[in-house]
Structures are given as C-alpha cells and as structure tokens.
Amino acid sequence: MPLDGPPKPLNPKKKPDEFREVDYLMCSQCGTPCYVFEMDGSRITEATCLVCGNDEVRLFNLGEESGPDDE
C-alpha cells in the first residue's frame, strides 16, 4: 500500500519544556516525598501528603530543590 505523507517521528515533541517536570513535592511538615499534587506551570495548586495529611500547598517544596533549606 502507498505511504500517505512522510513517516511520523518516533518521539514527537509537543513543545520545548518551559518548566522542568516535577516528579514529586517534599512535604515540609514531615519531609516525605509527595506524589499526589497538581501544578500550574511551576506553581503548586494542590497537594496532599498521605503521611501526615498536610494539604497546605504552602507547606510543600519542590522536590528538586538543591541544598538544605535553612530557616
């Protein structure tokens, strides 16, 4: 059968990533990686820690932060 158009690329990229993909958030209450969350761009919109029940997005940090966070 004839090919219809050029072959599709194996790994099509929608667009260059503006923000780094976040794998998890760190719950700053108990320090547990948290995988239940929603983000809007680089901003956390929803997050829930299954360990301590924390659901305040202010109390989560991006897991990819480098270095200790002194307060």
Q: Is the distance from CB of 47 to CB of 60 less than 8 angstroms?
A: yes
CB of 43 to Zn ion, least distance (A): 20
Asked whether position 28 contacts Zn ion by CB under 5 A, the answer is no
- The DSSP symbol for 3 reads -
Binding-site residue total for Zn ion (CB under 5 A)? 8
Name the minimum Å distance from CB 40 to Zn ion: 21
Q: Does 51 bind Zn ion (CB under 5 A)?
A: yes
Candidate residues 25, 44, 47, 49; the one interacting with Zn ion per rule CB under 5 A? 49
Radius of gyration of the chain (CA): 18
The SS3 assignment for 52 reads coil
Q: Between 22 and 30, whose beta carbon lies closer to Zn ion?
A: 30
Backbone angles phi, psi at 58, to 5 degrees: -70, -20
